[in-house]
Structure 1
């Protein structure tokens, strides 16, 4: 097998995040599920946007955020995702390419518009996300360059994008291309609501040995396995997935890879400002360590450092120099 030309290629939602501060009373008044992610239609997206205070527009999307962290750490990356030919589509394409990430998916000419996520951030740092998937849910399998996927060390897939039928087919095709080439497939469960809708699919992928690295938080772990006890739940997955990584917010993170286990505490920070992207940047740090051949514990520490950086400010992409931050924390 030839050495990969790219460290990580990811498939995910191409979304622009629209973020604004909010009070708990606003969350209740608008009938939102605090701290969760809800899919909304175009009308609800317009209603929530009109209800927002002054907002910031920042390119986002879970897998794209992970790649932004990976690129900042020095990894070579590529992204596959669908935007429309509109202003937000141009913003997304510019931002991801400016971060040094290859992005060649042609923009969609017809409706709907580019996806956006309307995020209300309360004073406790919790983010309440309302996502209009727009063009991102129409990523066709024909948009994949299987040679590019086969030439990446890791294919990273975003669970959120499993919901629409068209990109789900594209992701299955990408998994087949990666596995045929002998590459690794990493998958993030994204949210408990995704598991509620597609848990049978995910469990089937796991049973078939299609996933090499699985990312989850402890709530998603319980939803996927049906096991309330954390350690029992992770053990049940570790018997089927080569590497299982579970984040536990302020309790740190745990990983199992074969007979090896590792745990790291959460990195200390002065204040949690916005938890948007915490899991995405954790995955970035972990995958960076993985493609560089670092130990399981080092991979977890890299993830914790990156997650701590992103929750210290608004937005789901790093603002500090991650290379310098990692050098200072890990030596």
Structure 2
């Protein structure tokens, strides 16, 4: 199986599950349940790819604090390239509603103490550059090395500048449809700009994808009897599609594998079901 290198953020999170997100006024609520777990979009992708049998190298930033030690333990079996932070490990408190809505409260945003190392791409076939300033040197080096680049733009609206270099560099683009005025137009524009494949996700409504030279296709979300935790479902979907493509599956089958991975994630408290 080809190796994937991921560059991006990981965190140690407190997950608080509520019937509904709190109203914006002083009051008391009682959590249905809570737990602590590794988080971050790059951790989610790495763990799901490992579950699918894809060897992964993860470039990230971590502190030498207790949260950093817990993250390292949770990412056991993944090849880590770590830059130390000057102010500890990234941490969030995530408020999760019964319908999957999320409010993320950032407790700590890490600052790398020095340059983030760019590893050799010798046996790497695909580079995933997640949205973080420290991922940009890896993104640029991967382009110079001629590696295939996948980027997850999350809820980009097509205008914000921070995501633009990721969007303009990537061969394969994933984006949420939440803030896109017209997802089909977005897919066509990104393909005209140089992308080979664009995928737009719609949560429980599934996803659409368009390859260069092809027409958009839709994949429904895989059915789930009961949802435990929606955190990380998008990263699981991304990883399932990527693993499918690395295995040589056609686009429709890769999308179905992504939908199945997303369904496994929402049935679990962890990022990889």
Taking structure 1 as the reference length, the TM-score comes to 0.74
Candidates 230, 249, 259, aligned match of 1:275: 230
1:56 to 32, 35, 38: 35
RMSD: 2.5
Q: Compute the displacement of 1:10 (Å).
A: 0.8
2:102 pairs with 127, 138, 146, which one?
127
Q: CA deviation at 1:143?
A: 2.9
Displacement after TM superposition at 1:178 (Å):
1.3
2:161 aligns with 200
Give 1:96 shift: 0.7
Task: Assess, with a 3 A threshold, how the Cα gap between structure 1 residues 13 and 206 changes in structure 2: closer, same or farther.
Answer: closer
Find the partner of 1:156 among 124, 128, 140.
128
Deviation at 1:52, TM superposition (A): 6.9
Structure with bigger helix share is 1
1:258 to 193, 196, 212: 212
SS at match of 1:293: coil
Matches within 5 A, 1:81-230: 81-97=60-76, 100-108=77-85, 110=86, 112-135=87-110, 137-138=111-112, 140=114, 142-147=115-120, 149-159=121-131, 161-162=132-133, 167=134, 171-192=135-156, 199-207=160-168, 210-220=169-179, 222=180, 228-230=181-183
Q: Is the 8 A contact 2:228 2:269 kept in 1?
A: yes
* Pair 275,146 (structure 1): closer, same or farther in 2 beyond 3 Å: same
TM-score, normalised to structure 2, is 0.88
Instruction: Give the total of aligned pairs.
Output: 269
Q: Is the CA contact (8 Å cut-off) linking 1:69 and 1:284 kept in structure 2? A: yes
SS at match of 1:88: helix
For the residue of structure 2 that corresponds to 1:26, the secondary structure is: coil
Larger strand proportion, structure 1 or 2?
2
> C-alpha distance in 2, partners of 1:27/1:296?
42
Runs of 4+ in 1 over 6 A off after TM superposition: none
Distance 2:272 2:162 in 1: 32
Q: Give deviations 1:277-322, integer Å, cap 9, x for gaps.
A: 111111110111122221111111111001111112334x123xxx
